[in-house]
Amino acid sequence: MEALAERLSHLDPQAGGVVRVVMFYDTLMRRRVDLSALARASAGLAECVAGIRLHGTGRTIRVAPDGRETSAPPSPASTTVPITLDEEEIGTVWLERPAPPVPLDEVLLERLAIAAAAVVERYGPARTTMADPALVELVISSGSDDGSRARALRLLGFAPDLPVHVVAVRSHLPLDRIGGLICPARPVKAAPLAEVGVILATTVDPAPLPADVRAGIGAAESPERSWQQARTALRFTTPRRPVVHHDSLGALALLAETPRDALRENTDVAAIARIAGNLEQLETLDAYCATGSQRRAADLLHLHHSSVARRLEQIGKDLGIDVVQPAGLMRATLALTAWRLLDD
């Protein structure tokens, strides 16, 4: 630090101020703060809006001197410095000072850029989300010991204190694109395993996913447990419900543990299998089970509710279940769900 301070002192006569700025950011880096904390600290130190932008994700953080992220229209940057990592420019930091830059602004931004690069290197987002499948398998395998799993996570770029969700995916889209959509600003890695794509992510937001992507999301308890949950949740996905969180399944998850032969031999499930070739009946039953209401099912199907009522009456006769009664609706819902699990 002394050598750096000496070099910076040649750029600005206020060597004492330079040293204080260097020490300020060295302290932040030792505390392993994130990008938001870096921006807050910088805005407070500079007493003006400070900004950080990462090119790869488009993520932008702008913080006012009071420590709050600001949504006000950005002012022209008074000073900017690129963020570089491995000789590649990955982003920009800047100050929005209404007055002319002060002598220490350049030093402050240089240190902010160095600190931001360190955060990106440590926590991501990594410039590529694709990972060695062998490492990913080590992370999610129930046969891995804790030491091997921790080492694999470290090699994949995950900090030891960060929770990791596992997402099981079926899609024609590239896995790296899906990973970037569900976790654009935090560590995320992906790899194909057999017929399923595996995504490891510290946070998961499925909202940006296209409708044709099927995804099961596990909790962040432990990677191996999260993987089991994600695979189970994936089995419950449907065109109407393409993304399923395992936590949302509740007792329904028990169906996934039922042997397939037992499901297949159940009379209600067998009855669903018999009508499965009639797409009109299957779609009507699916909409009714999903909504629990004839009128809402009619809205989904763009039909008059009387048409749905007539269809449900025939479906009830074919299944041998009075589906318009609460108990019958529950039986039909469970049978339809179990039948879909057989097709997985």
Residues 283 and 300 in one domain: yes
40-65: average pLDDT: 87
Residues 224 and 320 in one domain: no
Quick one: pLDDT at residue 11? 52
Give the model's confidence band at 5: pLDDT under 50 very low, under 70 low, under 90 confident, else very high.
Answer: very low
pLDDT in tens, 169-226: 999 998 988 998 898 877 789 999 978 999 999 899 999 999 999 999 999 889 999 9
Q: Is the pLDDT of residue 326 over 50?
A: yes
- Long-range pairs, 80-88, Cβ under 8 A, ≥24: 80/109, 81/106, 81/109, 81/110, 81/112, 81/113, 82/113, 83/52, 83/54, 83/113, 83/116, 83/117, 83/120, 84/113, 84/117, 85/117, 85/120, 85/121, 88/127
Q: What is the CATH number of the domain that holds 283?
A: 1.10.10.2840
Last residue of a domain, one of 123, 142, 163: 123
Q: How large a percentage of the chain has pLDDT more than 90?
A: 63
Q: Which of 53-62, 199-208, 285-294, 330-339 has the lowest mean pLDDT?
A: 53-62
Distance CA 194, CA 190 (A): 13
What is the CB neighbour count within 10 angstroms for residue 110?
A: 19
Q: Is the pLDDT of residue 300 over 80?
A: yes
216-243: average pLDDT: 95
Q: Which of 29-33, 41-45, 52-56, 181-185 has the lowest mean pLDDT?
A: 52-56
Q: What is the CATH number of the domain that holds 109?
A: 3.30.450
Residue 41 burial (C-beta neighbours within 10 Å; 0-12, 13-18, 19+): buried
Q: Which of 98-112, 149-163, 223-237 has the lowest mean pLDDT?
A: 149-163
Q: Is the pLDDT of residue 126 over 50?
A: no
Residue 107 in any domain: the answer is: yes
Residues 252 and 327 in one domain: no
Q: Give the number of domains in the chain.
A: 3
Residue 161 in any domain: the answer is: yes
Residues 111 and 12 in one domain: yes
Give the model's confidence band at 9: pLDDT under 50 very low, under 70 low, under 90 confident, else very high.
Answer: low
The mean pLDDT of the chain is 88
Residue 128 in any domain: the answer is: no
Residues 278 and 166 in one domain: no
The better pLDDT of the pair 57, 200 is held by: 200
Residues 41 and 152 in one domain: no
Residues 201 and 290 in one domain: no
- Print burial letters for 198-235: b (CB count within 10 Å at least 16), e (below 16): bbbbbbbebeebeeebbbbbbbbebbbbbbbbbbbbbb
Residues 107 and 196 in one domain: no
Q: Which amino acid, one-letter code, is at 318?
A: D
34-48: average pLDDT: 92
Residue 141 in any domain: the answer is: yes
Last residue of a domain, one of 88, 123, 158: 123
Q: How far is CA 119 from CA 30, 60, 80, 151, 240, in A?
A: 11, 15, 19, 20, 39
Q: Which amino acid, one-letter code, is at 95?
A: L
Quick one: pLDDT at residue 125? 47
Residues 145 and 232 in one domain: yes
- Domain hosting 63: range is 2-123
Residues 271 and 228 in one domain: no
Residue 335 in any domain: the answer is: yes
Quick one: pLDDT at residue 56? 58
Residue 229 in any domain: the answer is: yes
pLDDT in tens, 80-101: 999 987 676 878 999 999 888 8
Last residue of a domain, one of 123, 156, 177: 123
Distance CA 92, CA 53 (A): 5
Quick one: pLDDT at residue 1? 43
269-288: average pLDDT: 95
pLDDT in tens, 130-162: 888 998 999 999 999 988 898 888 878 787 778
Residue 201 in any domain: the answer is: yes
Residues 33 and 80 in one domain: yes
Residue 83 in any domain: the answer is: yes
What is the CB neighbour count within 10 angstroms for residue 59?
A: 15
Residues 324 and 239 in one domain: no
